[in-house]
Structure 1
Amino acid sequence: MKALYKIVALVGVSVVTTSCFNKSKPNYQFFPNMYESVAYETYSQSGAFKNGKEGQLPAKGSIPRGFEPYAYENSTAGYELAKANLKSPLDSTKIDSKKGTELFNIYCAICHGEAGDGKGKLVKREKFLGVPSYADRPITEGSVFHVITYGLNSMGSHANQLSQEERWQVVDHVMKLKAGL
């Protein structure tokens, strides 16, 4: 008799568990939009914003967090103005020559050489030619900072890799290299 109860219970449990399954329509979904999301075309208009096209624009005249404005434009005239007028805002207590040397070796020495003589690894392997020595050029703190910020000729801008203070640290190191050449 106990065996009969066990068989009936087993059949009952199996009927209950399989009766909820329906191949043509799946079970109830709690958050159907997570499983079957609406597809949107990239860069298409959206009703999520007031103007229907783009997100909220920043207020006029606002400056992004961490951004420090640079007053000289990316042109030959801006380069000449920076060369003549721009001086390092860092005083002697804020200049970290070890950090400047480290940053120069990471970003600049590959082309300009560790001594600033224009004979870095890429120049020796003839990947870039015509990298000038610091001894051959009339450079100032302002001109070096401007070139690091915007780039010049084949040299690209390093403004995204180095903060303004780090660029001034590199400028300090470059000026020391120029004095040594």
Structure 2
Amino acid sequence: MKRVYKITLLFGITILVASCHNNKAPNYQYFPNMYESVGYETYAESDAFKNGKVAQLPAEGTINRGFEPYDYENSTAGYELAKANLKSPLDSLDRNSEKGKILYEIYCTSCHGNAGDGKGKLVEREKFLGVPSYKDRVITEGSIFHVETFGLNSMGAHANQLSTHERWLVADYVLKLKSQL
């Protein structure tokens, strides 16, 4: 008799479990937005923010990750201040003239030439005229860094191509070229 009760109980539990499963009506989902997220358009209206827009501007006073502030403005006065006051933060261990030479050859040689004499390939082919030789100019590491950062005359800025450290390496290499001319 016990055996009949056990079999009946097992059969009843099996029917109960099988009857709860329905593929056409799945179980209730808690937090359905976690499973099926709502896609927002970039500039669509939303109640989530105070101004009613999805895309938000960065908070005031924040700076981009990796951004290093530069205290000299892009003007003649800023150039003169950088020329007089700006010094390289590189110590003797950070000054890698081989890397500076490689970067100079990539970004500067086409106009300024391998020796810094202002006779690069683009000048020889008359694409740019009036590129000065380093020996004819009064330059400092600060003025070189400033020109690399903002550009000057027909030379464009290289702040997007070279990091701050790389610009200091190139400035150091340019001073070595100037001393050899």
The alpha carbon displacement at 1:59 in A equals: 2.5
| Separation (CA, whole Å) in 2 of partners of 1:71 and 1:54 | 34
Structure 2 counterparts to residues 57-68 of structure 1, below 5 A: 57-68=57-68
Aligned to 2:84: 84
Question: Which consecutive aligned stretches of 4+ in structure 1 deviate over 6 angstroms post-superposition?
Answer: none
Aligned-residue sequence identity (percent) comes to 70
Aligned to 2:139: 139
Aligned to 1:100: 100
Q: 1:96 to 1:53 in 2, by over 3 A?
A: same
Q: Which amino acid aligns with 1:178?
A: K
Q: 1:48 to 1:154 in 2, by over 3 A?
A: farther
Unaligned runs of 5+ in 2: 1-38
> Aligned Cα RMSD in Å?
2.2
The alpha carbon displacement at 1:175 in A equals: 0.4
The alpha carbon displacement at 1:58 in A equals: 2.1
SS, match of residue 135 in structure 1: helix
Unaligned runs of 5+ in 1: 1-37
Q: Which amino acid aligns with 1:120?
A: G
| Separation (CA, whole Å) in 1 of partners of 2:153 and 2:87 | 23
The alpha carbon displacement at 1:55 in A equals: 2.0
The alpha carbon displacement at 1:61 in A equals: 1.8
| Separation (CA, whole Å) in 2 of partners of 1:107 and 1:145 | 14
Q: 1:93 to 1:153 in 2, by over 3 A?
A: same
Structure 2 counterparts to residues 25-44 of structure 1, below 5 A: none
Q: 1:127 to 1:59 in 2, by over 3 A?
A: same
The alpha carbon displacement at 1:52 in A equals: 3.4
Q: Which amino acid aligns with 2:85?
A: N
Q: Which amino acid aligns with 1:47?
A: S
Q: 1:116 to 1:61 in 2, by over 3 A?
A: same
Q: 1:124 to 1:61 in 2, by over 3 A?
A: same
| Separation (CA, whole Å) in 1 of partners of 2:75 and 2:97 | 30
Say whether residues 1:159 and 2:152 are aligned partners.
Answer: no
| Separation (CA, whole Å) in 2 of partners of 1:46 and 1:154 | 45
Q: 1:85 to 1:54 in 2, by over 3 A?
A: farther
| Separation (CA, whole Å) in 1 of partners of 2:55 and 2:101 | 42
The alpha carbon displacement at 1:83 in A equals: 0.3
SS, match of residue 62 in structure 1: coil
SS, match of residue 92 in structure 2: coil
The alpha carbon displacement at 1:62 in A equals: 1.7
TM-score by length of 2: 0.73
Paired residues, what number?
Answer: 144
| Separation (CA, whole Å) in 2 of partners of 1:54 and 1:68 | 29
